[in-house]
Amino acid sequence: MSTDQKSHGLQSVATVPLAHGHFYGLRAAVPSIVALTGTFRTGTALAPGGTVLQSLVAALVGCANRRRGPVEIAELLEARGASFTVEADADGVRFSARARTVDLPQLVDWTLECLREPEFDQTLLDVERARLIAELQYRAMDSAYIATGALTRMLYPQAHPAYEPDPAEQVALLEGFTVADVRRFHSERYGANDLRIAVVGDVDPQAAARLVERGVQGWAPRAVPEATQWGEPAAGPDSQRLLLPGQESYGVAMGQRLAQERTHPDYPALRLANRILGGAFSSRLVSSVRERQGLCYVMRSELGESRRGGGHWQVVLSASPDKLEAALAATRTVVEQLAKTGVETREFENAQRAAIGAFHIGLATLDGLSDAILSAADLGWEPDDLLGFERRTAAVTLAQIDRVIGYCLRPQEWRTCIAGPAAAD
């Protein structure tokens, strides 16, 4: 543990090897509360709709296991003020549980029982499927959501983990999945594949490690598929318009592919560049297009991250019909100006300071500490290096960020998707 880490009041992270992964424990000054967070890989979704099935299985895993039904689990959690969630991403699962320290033994047991031995039946499948479909139908009313999903289909081939089927296709896929599909996916993909579990809070890390070691005993990894080549997206126009009847405003997503993954040495500079472009209230896009010109309701830029295969850089905005074209033109101007002239010294320093400050504020929570530990492990850093993000961000120079913008930001390659009413007035 570094001297800086001690000066920030952070304890050392205890690392304990598991049979097929690692445990990380950290005592934090949060009286009587503990958080358990973990990840494991499920492999690349090779078939169309694989990411949709992954989400369905994750939703079901948190409902019931072979020892306890959904009502019993809900009552046990509620009676203790505890929580438990399971979420899927493109090639893995993240699970999270919170409880009082005194309930940690039971929390570990329930969490790992659900992950290892979930109960799948038709009734649970129907309930969770209906919930996911309702959520999709609600989100489909958001024109910006429709546009961002469509942009992934313009930028990525169908097999890529970042490719997002349109809502109607996702609903059709959900309606077609059976209990057998869910059981097969769990059997083939849910295992101790690079398993990482962090327990943070008012707890003895070594005692917590023993609980986790007992809970994962005998949990074997699976031979999950790992794709490294996905080809190119289908050829198509540089822009696309999607008609959304009944909408009164437009959602727009515009962006480009990025070859850099999160482990790339230039990624800290890329994150700062995104903050300067549109990733903060003081960014160029927000201050110019939204605040000064008043051309849109929503304005942000973001990096679409993918663990493998690169990601993309996108701008998302919402605008009224009478301001759409002006908003698009102003946005393109800001992006092109940043690509052409780079970053000013003052805005670079402000963005760097703000990014480090936001990171430190995050470390004041159990979630922030857990994320710092697991992110460090995922990136190949030392898990005990809780301030690794700060150090790498502080090491970025103005020359480096200008160089990264120069070769990463390519406005001439940007593709645009506009979703909303039939035509702008």
Please report, in tens digits, the pLDDT of each residue of the chain (425 residues total).
Answer: 555 555 555 679 999 999 999 999 999 989 999 999 999 999 887 666 788 999 999 999 989 999 999 999 999 999 999 999 999 987 899 999 999 999 999 999 999 999 999 999 999 999 999 999 999 999 999 999 999 999 999 999 887 888 899 999 999 999 999 999 999 999 999 999 999 999 999 999 999 999 999 999 999 999 998 866 667 777 778 999 999 988 999 999 999 999 888 889 999 999 999 999 999 999 999 999 999 999 999 999 999 976 666 799 999 999 999 999 999 999 999 999 999 999 999 999 999 999 999 999 999 999 999 999 999 999 888 888 888 999 999 999 999 999 999 999 999 999 999 999 986 44
Helix, strand, coil: what percent of the chain each, to 5? Answer: 45, 20, 35
In this structure, which amino acid lies at residue 153?
Answer: R
> What's residue 425's pLDDT?
43
CATH of region 239-420, choose from 3.30.420.80, 3.40.80.10, 3.30.830.10, 3.40.190.10: 3.30.830.10
Burial class (CB in 10 A: 0-12, 13-18, 19+), 132: middle
Q: Where in the chain is the domain with CATH 3.30.830.10?
A: 3-216, 239-420
Q: What residue spans of 142-204 are helical by DSSP H?
A: 143-155, 167-176, 179-189
Closest Cα partner for 56 from 156, 183, 143, 152? Answer: 183
> What's residue 424's pLDDT?
47
Kindly calculate the radius of gyration of the chain based on its CA atoms and give it in whole angstroms: 23
Domain 3-216 falls in which CATH fold? Answer: Cytochrome Bc1 Complex; Chain A, domain 1 (3.30.830)
> What's residue 1's pLDDT?
52
> What's residue 32's pLDDT?
96
Phi, psi of 146, rounded to the nearest 5 degrees: -60, -40
Closest Cα partner for 89 from 63, 50, 128, 139? Answer: 50
Question: What sign does the dihedral 289-292-297-300 (CA atoms) show?
Answer: positive
Give per-residue burial for 41-59: e unless 16+ CB within 10 Å, then b.
Answer: bbbbbeeebbbbbbbbbbb
> What's residue 189's pLDDT?
95
> What's residue 361's pLDDT?
94
Given the structure tokens 């400050």, which residue do they identify? 357
- As a dihedral over the C-alpha atoms of residue 302, residue 383, residue 360, residue 200, rounded to 10 degrees, the angle is 110
> What's residue 374's pLDDT?
94
